[in-house]
Amino acid sequence: MKNTLTEKLLSSHLLSGRLAVGEEIGLLMDQTLTQDATGTMAYLALDAMGVSRVKTELSVAYVDHNTLGSGFENADDHRFLCSAAKKFGLYYSRPGNGICHQVHLERFGIPGKTLIGSDSHTPTAGALGMLAIGAGGLDVAAAMGGSPYYIKCPAVFGVELIGSLPPHVTAKDVILKLLGTISVKGGVGYILEYYGEGVKSLSLTERATITNMGAECGATSSVFPSDEITLDYMRRHGREEDWTPVFANEGAEYERHITIDLSALVPMAACPHMADLCVPVSELSEIKVDQVCIGSCTNSSFADLSAAAEILRGKTIAENVSLTVSPGSREVLTALSKSGALDVFLSAGARLLECVCGPCIGMGQSPCSGGVSLRTFNRNFKGRSGTADAKIYLVSPETAAISAVTGYITDPRVSSVPTSVTDPENFEVNTNMIIPPTDEKCELIYGPNIKPFPAPKEFPDVIEADVSIKVGENITTDDIMPAGAKVLPFRSNIPAISKFCFSGIDSDFSKRAESLGESVIVGGENYGQGSSREHAALAPFYLGIRAVVVKSFARIHRSNLINMGIIPCTFENPDDYDRISEGDTLKINAESAVMYGSGTLANLKSGETFRILCPLGERERTLLLSGGLLGYIKSKAGGNE
Ligand code: MIC
Ligand code: SF4
């Protein structure tokens, strides 16, 4: 990684370890963010850690996910988060003010700084030249308390951009092309660092679309240099004094490398049900569309929505289509209202939603049965929309808009309308929906649905337990812990949300696991890909899961398991996966696996014994032996008394 921008960002924040790929490093986190669906548990953990005031330069609690109020639960969470922001000294971005990643770009991100957020799309801020990483709420809480954030030192994947985008081909098509090329596992262990003359042709929000979906590649983060385009964006948002240039040095060395010629790209779509199943939009022209959704943290900037509006101007959406538009922030919505684009959406027949995640996380707008929905979002996992048999395609705002008019998936290049829109010279900045930190004393305000963070369990030397579920490849955190309007209100109530664990795959799982007392999960490659939600570790923990044995793990989920004291093991020989079935009783020598990085797993049903691996850094080992991060912090605090 010599001379890369990544190396500069890492070394200027390095608190422990060496910058050697794969070694554990501790990084100073300048900023943190949480959103409401992960935030309540993060602040409950912060409270349980005994922290009274955040120690970061800046921390923000956003409310953007659970905004439907079909019961008291979400509103209680918002009140709790507002009280937590006051108690711990954070900014509080009120419900409807905007999606955390969009607002963070506009108001808080600073080139050259670090950011950790309890949302997997936190790397969006990498567009500003920040080192921005998604993590579980416990890790974010620890960072707010002043602890370093520990990760395996990533390698750097250089993505050279050359040329410039042809008309109607967008940043979304760049990242879909990359996803189609390197897959949802291609970025694991890497930071994607963009460079080359093509970078200069991309606006800040185009860069943000690209860094946002680096998460779908499995990357630890994505980063662009901070240049005059970054300065221009920050100036238009009234923050030019926060700008600083950051860039790679001459002769930067990348562990892996790819070149993308922007001029050669075409509009792309990710087909159901994975973000890397990418094909040119032109190959899908026979497909009739039921719903089109424009928005999400990937594509909800003023430029994105204005380009869609240009295509819709003077037209009416097709009879068979329901079109929703959710602007990324109030700043974007105000600018759309001033430019007249809002009128265009309304006269075309669009349904205007709040400035929140909305349909992206299944909070309303589930498509009709078996429906085709075109979305400018970043995830199309089966069932995530709230309709189990819906088919979700991920596309650019321009493809979405033209398809809403024709009623079929349509290549936007058929449109002769010019869509390049310049941002307003000065966005109207109104921060009245962001409550700044104060010295006012405040206690946490609970509601009946807000239950304490589950107590840690002791480390088991030997695990003898049944396999409560065996799952396949690329299992997502949405598979483990579904989201959507019915489940999300229980994010602050682990006993209640645990009932939905794996419910899309096996509706009996939670009852079975609970009745077993203790059990083990077996899975395939890239287990736990997708979101940062630590509920995908908390719920299994609550249901008695002591170990997860898979072919390989996604980064954030593996850390979340360790933070909860669940032992993450991989098969030394991936074929041994086939020698275990659901219901088999396994005996795992947990102590040796954790102490020495490898151990044995005996299948007591078949009588066979296999080797399993559990490679851990020193700190991770200590965490597991202490029963997880909370157990560790509590034992340290006890030791100091
Ligand atoms: C998502 O896009 O899946 C979410 C909802 O934003 C998650 C966080 C969560 O589950 O609360 C993420 O991406 O980390
Ligand atoms: Fe919200 Fe969707 Fe972005 Fe997650 S991916 S933060 S749910 S808009």
List, in order, residues 6 or more apart from 253 with CB less than 8 Å away: 1, 2, 3, 4
What's the confidence (pLDDT) of residue 639?
A: 47
Check residue 190 and give its pLDDT.
98
| Gap between the Cα atoms of 148 and 13, Å rounded | 9
Q: What local confidence, expressed as pLDDT, does residue 165 receive?
A: 98
- Which ligand sits nearest to residue 531's alpha carbon? 1
Q: Can you read off the two tokens belonging to residue 450?
A: 């807000």
CB 613 within 8 A of CB 597: yes
Q: Is 361 in the pocket of ligand 1 (CB under 6 A)?
A: yes
Residue whose C-alpha is closest to residue 31's, from 12, 4, 57, 13? 57
The residue ranges of the chain whose pLDDT is under 70 are 637-641
Q: Which of 377, 380, 381, 385 to mutate to test the pocket of ligand 2 (most atoms within 8 A of CB)?
A: 377
CB atoms within 10 A of CB 70: 10
Q: Facing residues of 603 across strands?
A: 586, 608
Ligand 2 — pocket residues by CB below 6 A? Answer: 65, 99, 119, 121, 296-297, 357, 360-361, 377-378
- Which helix (H) or strand (E) covers residue 294, if one does? strand 291-294
Beta strands, E only, 402-543: 434-435, 463-470, 519-522
Residues 611-637 pLDDT 10s: 999 999 999 999 999 999 998 987 876
| Residue 638, pLDDT score | 62
pLDDT on residue 641: 32
Q: How far apart (Å, rounded) are the C-alpha atoms in residues 548 and 542? A: 14
For ligand 1, the distance from its centroid to the CA atom of residue 384, given in whole angstroms, is 11
Ligand nearest to the CA of 481: 1
Bridge partner list, 25: 151
CA distance 172 to 213: 9
Q: Closest-lying ligand to the alpha carbon of 363?
A: 2
Q: Is the CB of 492 under 6 A from ligand 1?
A: no
- Of all protein residues, the one whose alpha carbon is nearest to atom 3 of ligand 2 is 297
| Ligand 2 centroid distance, CA of 485 (Å) | 14
CB 459 within 8 A of CB 626: yes
Q: What is the pLDDT of residue 179?
A: 98
Which residues make beta-bridge pairs with 93?
A: 62, 434
> DSSP of 554-574, one letter per residue?
-HHHHHHHHHTT-EEEEESSG
For residue 633, what pLDDT is reported? 85
Q: Is 467 helix (H, G, I), strand (E, B) or coil?
A: strand
DSSP state of 89: T
